[in-house]
Amino acid sequence: MHLTERPTKQRTEVRQAGLVEAALQLAAQRSPSDISTGDLARAVGITQGAVFKHFASKEAIWLAVLDWATDTLMTRLQAAAQEAQQAPSPPSQQATSGPALAALRAVFLAHVGFAVEQPGVPRVVFQELQSPGNTAPKMRVRALLQRYRQLLMLLLQQAEQEQGLAPGTNLQAAAVLFIGSVQGLVMQALISGDVPAMALQAPGVFALYQRALQSHPQDSQGNP
């Protein structure tokens, strides 16, 4: 009995992975809300009824998409941060960028790289955030953003300890600006239809972000 159950489970996992991949590919081309289970079935070469042998509902498919995106993105960002912190800084950057700022830059570029590879993910995320009510997919997106903020806050706190930030830098605002900068690049690319352009623009955008973190704030009168 166990020998027959295992291949069946493996086939289901393979089919589920195929449906998740198909959902992301279709979401890269059009609004996720317009994608039907029939579209997904045709994309993987099965009947529409067979879709529900592997997922209980259409919502369950999008939850699986968001789970995959969360695990893949966060694993990639954490690996990028760790690698950057362990790598020696070039002499030209040692005076302006410590390990934590280097990690922030690596996270920024890794996130943009992920969006270039998987443009369907931000489309799904943006759609769920705009949906009314507290749906299960929307809660998954919020959980992803919470994990993302925790990573950013950890790196920003380390950068502060390394004296890589201007005194008095608002770390919460810095995290918001980081996320907003990535989202701005993604939105601009999706609107223009030139997704690869994100990767070309990302280093310059992060350079401006880092300059803002290291600039000394002006006093309340607007004087240096």
Residue 22 sits in a domain of what CATH number? Answer: 1.10.10.60
Examine residue 161 and state whether it is found in any structural domain, yes or no: yes
CA atoms within 13 A on the CB side of 72: 15
Do both 132 and 146 map to the same domain? yes
User: How confident is the model over 38-48, as a mean pLDDT?
Assistant: 95
The pair of structure tokens assigned to 104 is 């922030």
* pLDDT score for 182: 97
Do residue 63 and residue 50 come from a single domain? no
Q: What is the mean pLDDT of residues 30-46?
A: 95
Domain membership flag for residue 18: yes
Asked if the model's pLDDT at residue 96 lies above 90, the reply is: no
Q: What residues make up the domain containing 107?
A: 58-214
Domain closes at, from 14, 35, 55: 55
**Domain check: are 147 and 40 in the same one?**
no
pLDDT band at 87 (very low <50, low <70, confident <90, very high): confident
Residues 83 and 152 in one domain: yes
Residues 6+ apart with CB under 8 A from 99: 84, 85, 89, 158, 162
Model-level pTM greater than 0.85?
yes
Euclidean distance between CA atoms 213 and 187, whole angstroms: 23
Which band of pLDDT confidence, cut at 50, 70 and 90, is reported for residue 131? confident
The verdict on 69 and 180 lying in the same domain is yes
Mean pLDDT, residues 174-184 taken together: 97
Q: Which of 187, 186, 178, 184 is nearest to 206 (CA)?
A: 178
Q: Domain with 208 in it: what CATH number?
A: 1.10.357.10
Same domain for 125 and 18: no
* First-last CA distance in the chain: 76
Whether residue 224 is contained in a domain is answered as no
More confident: 197 or 88: 197
Q: What is the DSSP letter of 51?
A: H
Rounded to a whole number, what is the largest CA-CA distance in the chain?
78
Span 85-105, average pLDDT: 77
What is the count of structural domains for the chain? 2
Q: pLDDT tens, 66-84? A: 999 999 999 999 999 999 9
Do the beta carbons of residue 122 and residue 59 sit within 8 Å?
Answer: no
H helix runs in 98-170, sequence order: 99-117, 120-130, 136-161
Give the pLDDT mean for 201-222.
81
User: Is the CA virtual torsion 171, 108, 111, 185 positive or negative?
Assistant: positive
* DSSP 8-state class, residue 29: T
- Position 6 scores a pLDDT of 53
Q: What is the pLDDT of residue 218?
A: 55
Q: Residue 223 falls within a domain, yes or no?
A: no
What contacts 104, CB < 8 A, 6 or more positions away? Answer: 81, 152, 155, 156, 159, 178, 206, 210
* Per-residue pLDDT, 119: 95
What is the rounded average pLDDT of the residues 102-130? 96
Contact 40, 26 (CB under 8 A): yes
pLDDT of residue 53: 92
pLDDT for 88 equals 79
pLDDT of residue 223: 46
Residue 2 pLDDT more than 80? no
